[in-house]
Structure 1
Amino acid sequence: MPTGRGPLTRAGAPDVLDAAALTEAQVSGGSPVARLVHARPWVMDVTVAVLMLLVGLVGAVFAWEAAAGARSLGLYPRDSLVERTVTATWLAGASGGAALLLLRRAWPLAVTALLTVASLASLLVAGVLGVLGACLACALYSVAAAREPRTTWWTFGGVLVVVTAALWSWQDLGLIEVVAWFGAATGSMWEPDTYLAQPLFSPARRMGSVLLLHALLLLGVAVGSAARARRLHAQDLVERYRALARERDQSAALARAAERAHIAREMHDVVAHNVSVMVSLADGADAAFERAPAQSRDAVRQIARTGRAALADMQGVLGALGPAGDDDRRAEPTEVDLPTLVARFGDAGVPVRATGLDAELPDDTSVRLAVLRILSEALTNVLRHAPGAPAVEVCVRRTPTTVEVEVLDAGGTRPGDGGGTGRGLVGMRERAALLGGHVDAGPRPGGGWRVHAVLPWSDEEGDDR
């Protein structure tokens, strides 16, 4: 049987789980910069856009020089405006790509599609990709970080095929050309054949730009996928933490409910039974006060004894409900005196005929207590709900494996105290169920009421103790 001490947290004890206090940022940890970016994502968006714009401005200078060098080497007509076309397209791609990157967090797929179209237009108009390749890598990072892997890889494949085909077909000034022809207009020493073994604008030289593009796009997808995995892991940890907190709260609520039920059962068993006996004795003393003063005096003394017993039992219940370590008082007696219990109800006017009260009960305290409480509850129900019953039979039997308690009454001749709360029957069944037994309670075919309890016990368990 429980002692009244539940798993409730003591007052003032710290609450180790607080679901509201845990966030993904706390789980992810990281540097102050990482925490700032997690709290204000727009900071990273603006930083990336500004970085792409600065790289585009610097690259435009190199592209101007490379285009001028290529024209001076005769790779373009002398009267062409290739420098202006290449530089203007480069700057337009850099500024447009930077502007689109500001929106990549909200619309990653749309931004990726627009950057792909911008890359095709830049290659078609001026034969340069510029920083749009790096912008595409940043856009694919956002797709991988925000979308499912299947969507990410389909998007990556589409961008890779389309941009690679356009670059292979239309690019004139790639990475190799920009690095090789930068400054070629400053002197005649920059002869293309001395450092570029392949023919001008050949696919073999474009392979360098293709490989660089593939590396950038793969890097963007890989970093974005890793970021998504970290975010999902943090979300999973937060959800598990919150589920643990909810389970903690539910367990505490169930523990409080069980504690209240236990308190109610103990108070009912300890107080209601004794008070019912005291009320019956007081009524009898009042009725016999004039014609039988001696019997009235005996009844009053019995009331006093019953009240002191009830007070002692209540102190035991309250002591068991107190803080752990104060007392070892329990509301569970180890000594069971069934004859005294039955005699007390006999004094209260219940015509009890009992057999088996002197049977030696098992040493198991839980079984002994259950016998006492069930018998007390059954007789209390007779006293309250079947007053004037002509006969009440009590039988206690011990078998090698069970202890049986049976209480039979023939029904009352006067109105009872009402329907009751039903807590007594529930308490009897709960006590029996804790021991693996059962209680059958209900009306008898010929009138009256029957309570039959079967409580299993084991010699081996008793020997072990």
Structure 2
Amino acid sequence: MISLAVTAVPLAGWHVAIVATAAAAQSAALLRRRRAPVAVLAIGTALLVLTTVFAGDPVATELPVSFMMYAVAAHRPARTTWASVAAVVGAVGATYVFTLRPLPTSAAPGWATATLTVSLLVAVALGLTMRAHRQQLEAEKERAQQLALERDQRAQLEVLTERERIAREMHDLVAHSVAVMVTLAHGASSAMDRNPDLAREALGELTRTGSEALRDMRRVLGLLRDGSQPDGAASQTPGALPDLLATFAKVGLPVRLDVTGEPPPSEPLLHHTVYRIVQECLTNVLRHAPGSDAVAVRIGWGEADVTIEVTNTGPVVSRVAGEQSGHGLRGLRERAAAFGGSVEAGPVEGGWRVRATLNHGDR
């Protein structure tokens, strides 16, 4: 036993038995110092006191108490540690003063108490250092786990965002193309007998629209899977809007474009968003109010924002149609929210109006 090895006072008879028994009990208690350090320290201190009282000298029972104090400092809060130091020093010091016999090889009570106190303080310092190091390692491990969790959550959000982008782009493309193609097909069917040339022209436009739709869908799917900007974001400058309106004019939608202000030249994503908002609004007019007398598209470019307003007048539009159920209105709001803007949609005198505002001054 480690405690027996430090026995320095030659004792005889039952004194040796007391010291040996106390040291053995302390050594056994040390095996439990990590699970119950405070209880082990209490046992060790009690054995030290008993050895001092009955054997006349603490001899081999002091050193195990220092190891026990180290366990308390390493595994329990600082408040508990310092309270334990005070309790041990007080109990052992009082015992030394009142019961320690001045044997030839024993230290004076005051010196013995000071020696024990220094030993306990060294044990506390080592234990607190070890506890701080362990807490730091645990904090770093917890932080690493938190970072891994946040990384996984960001990856999931990116996947969801990507899916929403694909759904939004595909909705705009399909809804626009299908609405135009259906209108062209009806027009071709109606003109087949009385005006074959017009019917052939409508069918040609139908074929061209379908081909463009397939090409655009392939581009959107391919580029969005790669995380790139939607195809056309760089090419759909304000000059592309007249071509869009011309497509709707070919299917009989009386569209008029009014643009004020100067658009920023270095905002391709902004131009793409404006293009898609106008496209979605005109597609809904074509689907839900094809008999509109007039459709006015107004775009006002400011220094820090842009306002898109699409108003159709004519037949009364049903509420369900006007609210653009499904991805329509939600997609418009998501596009506007990406630029810190908003979308308002509602009836006006004789028709329906959609108004979107996008902010771009702080981007």
Instruction: Give TM-score, length-normalised by structure 2.
Output: 0.86
CA contact (8 A) 1:387 1:416 kept: no
Deviations 1:273-318 (A, max 9, x none): 1222112211222233333322221111111121222233223323
Which residues of 2 match residues 169-208 of structure 1 at below 5 A?
169-172=98-101, 177=105, 205-208=108-111
Question: Mind listing any 5+ residue stretches in structure 1 that lack a counterpart?
Answer: 1-52, 68-82, 179-203
Is 1:388 aligned with 2:266?
Answer: no
**Is contact 2:48-2:58 (8 Å) kept?**
yes
Correspondence list, 1:8-407, <5 A: 53-56=1-4, 58-59=5-6, 63=9, 66-67=10-11, 83-172=12-101, 177=105, 205-323=108-226, 330-332=231-233, 333-335=235-237, 336-350=239-253, 352-356=254-258, 361-363=263-265, 364-398=267-301, 403-407=306-310
The separation in 1 between residues aligned to 2:118 and 2:108, in whole angstroms, is 17
| Count of aligned residue pairs for this structure pair | 359
SS at structure 1 position matched to 2:105? helix
What percentage of aligned pairs have identical amino acids?
A: 37
- 1:55 to 1:396, Cα distance in 2 relative to 1, 3 A: closer
**Greater Cα radius of gyration, structure 1 or 2:** 1
Q: Tell me how far apart the structure 1 counterparts of residues 301 and 69 of structure 2 sit (CA, whole Å).
A: 80
> Quick one: structure 1 residues 358 and 143, their matched pair in 2 at CA, closer, same or farther if it must change by over 3 Å?
closer
Report the equivalent of 1:28: none
Q: Report how far residue 207 of structure 1 moved.
A: 4.2
How far 1:415 moved relative to its partner? 7.4
Q: Does 1:425 align with 2:326?
A: no
Are the counterparts in 1 of residues 52 and 58 from structure 2 also a CA contact under 8 Å?
yes
The question of whether the paired residues in 2 share the 8 Å contact of 1:389 and 1:412 is answered with yes
Cα distance in structure 2, aligned partners of 1:358 and 1:117: 92
8 Å contact 1:314–1:331 — kept in the other structure? no
Superposition pairs for residues 433-452 of structure 1, below 5 Å?
433-444=337-348, 446-452=349-355
User: Deviation of residue 410 (structure 1)?
Assistant: 3.1
Determine if contact 1:386/1:416 at 8 Å carries over to the other structure: no
Letter in 2 for 1:90: V
Offset at residue 323 of structure 1 (A): 4.3
Provide the C-alpha distance between the structure 2 equivalents of 1:118 and 1:206, rounded to a whole number of angstroms: 18
| 1: CA distance, partners of 2:319 / 2:302 | 35
CA contact 1:285–1:297 (8 Å) conserved in 2: yes
Deviation by residue 1:208-233 (Cα, 9 ceiling, x = unmatched) = 43333223222221221111111111
The answer as to whether partners of 1:385 and 1:416 remain within 8 angstroms in 2 is: no
Q: State how far apart, in whole Å, the 2-side matches of 1:115 and 1:360 are.
A: 86
1:456/1:233 Cα in 2 relative to 1: closer, same or farther (>3 Å)?
closer
Letter in 1 for 2:232: A
CA distance, structure 2, for counterparts of residue 301 and residue 384 of structure 1: 21
Query: How far apart in 2 are the matches of 1:127 and 1:211?
Result: 18
Q: Distance in 2 between matches of 1:149 and 1:334?
A: 67
* Partner SS state of residue 146, structure 2: helix
Q: Greater relative contact order: 1 or 2 (C-alpha under 8 angstroms, separation 6 or more)?
A: 1
- Following the alignment from structure 1 to structure 2, what is the Cα–Cα distance between the partners of residues 256 and 84? 81
After superposition, the Cα gap between the structure-2 partners of 1:416 and 1:390, relative to the gap in structure 1 and judged at 3 Å, is farther
Aligned-pair CA distance for 1:416? 9.9
* Secondary structure at the counterpart of residue 225 of structure 1: helix
Cα distance in 2, alignment partners of residues 425 and 440 from structure 1: 9
Classify 1:414/1:348 alpha carbon distance in 2 versus 1 (closer, same or farther; 3 Å). farther
Change (3 A) 1:359 1:173: closer
Tell me by how many angstroms 1:137 deviates. 1.0
Contact persistence 1:320–1:331 (CA under 8 A): no
Deviations 1:43-94 (A, max 9, x none): xxxxxxxxxx2441x456x54xx34xxxxxxxxxxxxxxx112211110111
CA distance in 2, matches of 1:423, 1:400: 30
Task: Report Cα offsets for 1:150-182 as digits up to 9, x if no partner.
Answer: 1110111110111022123322377x717xxxx
3-state SS of the aligned residue for 1:131? helix
Contact 2:170/2:220, CA 8 A, preserved across alignment? yes
State the alpha-carbon separation in 2 of the partners of residues 59 and 414 from structure 1.
100
Find the aligned partners of 1:359 and 1:150 in 2 and give their Cα distance: 70
SS of alignment partner, residue 177 of structure 1:
coil
Gaps of 5+ in 2: none
Distance in 2 between the 1:319 and 1:109 partners?
Answer: 66
TM-score (normalised: structure 1) = 0.69
